[in-house]
Each structure stands twice: as structure tokens, then as C-alpha cells.
Amino acid sequence: MRSVVRAATARGAAAARRPVVWLAAGVVAVLVLLVALPLGGLVRATVGPGADGAWGDVASGPLADALLWQPLRGSLLVGLGTGVLATVLGAFLAWVVVLSDVPGRKVIGVLAAVPFALPSFALALAWETVFRNDRVGGNPGLLAALGVAVPDWLAWGPVPVVLTLVAHYFSLSYLVIAAALANVGGDVVAAAELTGASRLRVATRIVLPSVAPAVLSGFLLAFAEGVSNFAVPALLGLPVRFQTLSTRLYGAISTGDAERGYVLSIVLVVVAGLVLLVGNRLTAGRSYSTITGKATRARLVRTGAARLPLAALAWALVAATAVVPGVVLALSTVLRRSGSLDGGLTWHYWVGESDPSVAQGLRGVLRDPTVLDALGGTLRLGVVVAVCAVVLGALAAAVLRALPRARALHATVGLLGYVPFLIPGVALGAAVIAQFGAPTGPLPALYGTFAILVLAGVAASLPFALQTARAAFGQVSRELDEAAVLTGAVAPRRFARITLPLVSRGLANGAVLVFVTMVRDLSVVVLLVTPATPLLSMTTFRYASEGFTQHANAITLVIALIAVTATLLARRLEPGRKES
């Protein structure tokens, strides 16, 4: 017995002398700080002495219907509508681009991915610019200004919220399903056709089952994003008191009712997490393989007389979601009067000086110090979060690669790196406030500082940063490292001279995409931004809420330009692309 203890002690002492073990401990500690502590603080805030019966008030109190059940029904309605419609549109466009002979399908594929690169509130503002009526006052939209009577159900409430979210998130379903369709080998389809199977039978018995996991994944992603989205329900739903869990918890926390807001945050996390976990269970352990041996290209379907109608429908969908919103937003920023062509055109909302007769004296966005400060803060936040998230992801991937047999380490890092994916942005912001809004040990209260924005941003970006880093490190053969060991190169030198150059392109790609997410994100930061830490997304939301439509749309275009430019840069950084 003593010999076993001595052997275990010796192994532990030997492991403790390895720098990679200490690095692994540091990575786990940072992940705990970013993920586990905020969630623990969120739960403690709802059950501690100061909670004052928050759970009972939300679940069964006199205001329970307004606090929980109505917003919950609204969230489920929005999530289901978004999931179903986004999956249908994404699947249709994926089939058109991958398997049909529709003309221009490559361009359709590029345009179908554009809406997801834009902020969700860009599409909401474009919808409001066109369909706004006089239900809530303010300047009417373009249709109302032209004399078209826009019904309330089309201007405000669940219908425009769902349609706007579908226009934004169908890109997710499209990308997932298109990748699956591209892997359906043409030889499998050809073999089925040689047996005399009809096109319908091939589609229902071979193609559809093979892409079923991708269709389900697309639905679940769109559902989860629809449930957790804050900006669109806030802009198109709150004016007529249509509430979701995201908007209700924002209202509770922003008005000082923090404990009940934290309860709603936990409910939102549970709803999103349950849906995603159920989806994983539905596909766990099942095989949908259609690729065996040497893969072949997808077999195109000849659409015959339906070719042009299908092309027209596909082009109409991508134009309505990728092109028209940008045109509408750009046009609205140069209209002197919001929603009306009668007042003429002006560049005031871009470069104008303060004029009391226009927009209550607000300057053009390119001259407004508040907007310029928000632009600087947004770019700084995007860069800092991208660097921190990718560095943390790279360190985690490196220690997992160096310690392949440390099962506990792999499980812990995998769990903490995946959990933020289950947490909607607004709920994550609430969790960060609950943990770091007040002094915690040696840390001072961080609310109202740039640091709390960085913590929330890195935590939200962890799943993507970690998966990107693991994929990049996984492409580097261990034989290279083993060959360097034979030459006597120490671990830091091997990492700096061999591994890092090989994974740098993939890490840079991940950093750019994290940057894009932070630049256009509102949900994570909406509860954290203060006048001392202005950001473009929050400035847009404030201007839109106060009725300064042209200013809000102009800032949205700036955000979209940054996001699209960075996305194009990321595409150029993709491994395997030829250098110019």
C-alpha cells in the first residue's frame, strides 16, 4: 500500500514539474472565472437573502403572467416560427445551390450567406423603415407615406419579429444543410436511379435521410437564436407590448428589479439548453452515412421547365434579405424627412453640423463625438475580445494536444467551453453582472468598466474560439513535433517555430470572425453598456428607440460595412485558399 502511495506521489511530483501541467491549471482557472463563476453568481442572486422571494413572484405571484408566462409564450412562438421558416428557406436555397441546375446558383450561394454577417437589428430597422404605421406615433414608413394602409399586425408584433429573424437566421440553416448536401455522393444517387427508383423515391429514401441531422441542426440553431434574440423583439415588439423573455429580463434588470430579472435569465438559459440537448439526443447514436470509399461530386438534378421559376424564387429570396435591406437603409439616411420622399435629399445625417431644426440638433454620425467615441470603443472591444478569446482557445487546444490522456482535463475544458453556447446573450450579460457587478474577492466592482465588456465578450466567444483552435491544431501532424524533439528542440521552441506558424492562419480566421460577432452584437452587451463605455450597437438601439431613424440607420450601415469587410477578410484567410 505504501509503495502504491509513493508511486502516485512520485508521478504527481513529476507531473507538477512539467510546465504544461501548470498551463493547463491556468486555462481551467480562467474558464471557471469566465463561465462557472458567473452562472453560480446568477443562481446565488436568486436564492440568497436579498432575493426576497424572486422565484415565487416570477412563477406564481400576482404578476407572474406578465413577468414569466406571457414572455415565455412569446419566446416559444418566436423561436418555433423562426426555426421552422428559416429551415424551410435554408433547405430550399441549399438544394438550389448544391443539387440543382438553376442559373447563377453560385452567386445565390454567396448572397444567401450575407444576412448572417449583418446585425439582426439592421433587418429590423429596414422593416420599420418600410412598414412602420401610425400605431405608435412618430414618422411613418415608406409605404404609409405613399398612402398604403399598413395593418398593425404587419407593422408591429410577432409577425414582423418572426419574419425579420427568419430573414437573418435562415443563413445558418442554409450553411449547415448545404454542407450536408455537398457530401451526398453522386455515385449513391446514380446507383439508386439505376435500380429504377424515381426522383421522389431517391429524394425521400436517400437524400433526405442523409441530411436529416443537418436539417435538425439548422432548426435547433435558428430556434435557439430566435428565442434568445433581443434587438428585433425590442424594436418591433415592445412598442405594442409584445414581450419575450429577453426583452422582459432586460426591462426588469434595467429598472432595478435585478433578482427577478436573474430568474428570467435562468429560465431563458434552461429553455435554450433543453431544446439543444433534446436535438442532440434525437441524433445521438444514429448513422446517416452516405459516403463510402472515394467520395464523388453531388449529382445535379435537371429541373427542366421549372428551372427559371425556381431561379426567380431563389433570386427573389436572396435579394429581399441581402440586397433590399441595405438599399432601404442607405436611402433612408439621405431622406430629409423619415419615410417620405417629399422633403428631398440631404447628407445632413452623415456629415451635417448641429441644426436645431433637424433631429433636435443632432450632428451627422461622422461628425458626432458620441458616435465617434462609440466607434472607437466598438473597434477596441472587438480587437481585445478577439485576441483574448483566440489566445485562450489556442492555449486550451495546445494543452489538450500535449496531454491526450488527461481525460478529466478534456472533459472539463470541453464542458466549460461548450456551456456558453447554451446561454443566450442577454442572460450571459445578466450572469456577468450578478458575479462581477459587485466586488468579488480581490476584484473590484466592474460594472460600468471596459473590463466587464471584455469578460462577457470572451465568455460568449469561447465555444467558437475553442473549436476553431482545436481544428487548427488538429491539422498539424504530431510527427513534426516528434521530429523536432529528436533534434533537441525544447517545447517552447518547437511551439514557436513549428506549431504556431502552421496554425496561425486558422487562428487569425477565428479572430476575425470573433471580431465580427462582437462588432454587430447587441444581446451580450445591452445590459453592460454605460455612458462611460459607449458602443455602436447600443447607440443604434438608443437612437432607434428615441425616433432618430436616419441616425440609427446610418450607424447600422457603418456596423454592416465593418462586419462585411472583416468577413471577406476571414474568407481570404481560410486555409487552402490560393494567395494572390
pLDDT tens digits, one per residue of 249-289: 999 888 888 888 899 989 988 888 787 777 767 655 444 44
DSSP annotation of 579 reads: P
Where on the phi/psi map is residue 196: left (φ > 0), alpha (ψ -120 to 50), or beta?
Answer: left
Return the bridge partners of 340, or none: 337
pLDDT confidence tier of residue 23, bands split at 50, 70 and 90: confident
The grid coordinates of residue 327 equal 438599399
Q: What is the number of other CB atoms lying within 10 angstroms of the CB of residue 450?
A: 15
Per the listing, cell 429577453 goes with: 246
Is 342's pLDDT higher than 80?
Answer: no
What CATH number should be reported for the domain whose range is 346-575? Answer: 1.10.3720.10
Integer Rg of the chain from CA: 26
Most confident of 152-166, 261-275, 292-306: 152-166
Most confident of 48-57, 61-70, 154-163, 279-288: 154-163
pLDDT at 247: 93
Return the bridge partners of 337, or none: 340
- Longest CA–CA separation in the chain, Å: 92
pLDDT confidence tier of residue 577, bands split at 50, 70 and 90: very low
Q: Residue 346 in contact with residue 352, Cβ under 8 Å?
A: yes
pLDDT at 159: 96
CATH code 1.10.3720.10 region(s) in the chain: 51-321, 346-575
| CA separation for the pair 171, 109 (Å, rounded) | 10
The grid coordinates of residue 444 equal 473590484
What CATH number should be reported for the domain whose range is 51-321? Answer: 1.10.3720.10
Is 574's pLDDT higher than 60?
Answer: no
CA triple 87-93-97, angle to 5 deg? 140
| CA separation for the pair 560, 519 (Å, rounded) | 9
Most confident of 49-63, 136-150, 232-246: 232-246
Which CA distances in Å does 100 have to 62, 189, 203, 286, 306?
A: 56, 14, 13, 28, 11
Backbone angles phi, psi at 487, to 5 degrees: -85, -5
Global pTM value: 0.83
Q: Which of 95-99, 186-190, 373-377, 438-442 has the lowest mean pLDDT?
A: 186-190
Most confident of 25-39, 110-124, 177-191: 25-39
pLDDT at 9: 53
Instruction: Tell me the mean pLDDT in the region 58-68.
Output: 89
| CA separation for the pair 267, 270 (Å, rounded) | 5
The grid coordinates of residue 236 equal 418591433
Q: Residue 459 in contact with residue 35, Cβ under 8 Å?
A: yes
Which CA distances in Å does 208 have to 202, 290, 313?
A: 9, 11, 22
Burial class (CB in 10 A: 0-12, 13-18, 19+), 345: exposed
3-state secondary structure 313-351: HHHHHHHHHHHHHHHHHHHHCCEEECCEEEEEECCHHHH
pLDDT at 200: 58
pLDDT at 188: 55
The full length of the chain comes to 580
- Contacts of residue 363, defined as CB under 8 A and 6 or more positions apart, other chains included, come to 352, 353, 354
Q: Which amino acid is at 211?
A: V
Per the listing, cell 453598456 goes with: 529
Helices 258-283 and 70-99 sit at what angle, rounded to 10 degrees? 40
Tell me what the pLDDT averaged over the chain comes to: 83
Q: Residue 141 in contact with residue 339, Cβ under 8 Å?
A: yes
Is 310's pLDDT higher than 50?
Answer: yes
- The residue among 198, 302, 307, 286 whose CA lies nearest residue 206 is 198
DSSP string, 369-380: HHHHHHHHHHHH
| CA separation for the pair 199, 32 (Å, rounded) | 53
Q: What is the number of other CB atoms lying within 10 angstroms of the CB of residue 361?
A: 10
- Determine what percent of the chain is predicted with pLDDT higher than 70: 82
Is 502's pLDDT higher than 80?
Answer: no
What are 560-571's pLDDT values in tens digits? 899 888 877 766
pLDDT at 287: 45
Q: What is the number of other CB atoms lying within 10 angstroms of the CB of residue 8?
A: 10
Burial class (CB in 10 A: 0-12, 13-18, 19+), 186: middle
pLDDT confidence tier of residue 293, bands split at 50, 70 and 90: very low
The grid coordinates of residue 351 equal 456629415
| CA separation for the pair 110, 96 (Å, rounded) | 12
Q: Residue 249 in contact with residue 264, Cβ under 8 Å?
A: yes
Residue with the bigger pLDDT between 287 and 40: it is 40
Q: Residue 554 in contact with residue 153, Cβ under 8 Å?
A: no
Instruction: Tell me the mean pLDDT in the region 430-436.
Output: 90
Instruction: Tell me the mean pLDDT in the region 345-354.
Output: 91
Return the bridge partners of 345, or none: 335
| CA separation for the pair 115, 124 (Å, rounded) | 12
DSSP 3-state assignment of 100? strand
Q: Residue 492 in contact with residue 216, Cβ under 8 Å?
A: no
Number of H helices, E strands in the chain: 30, 2
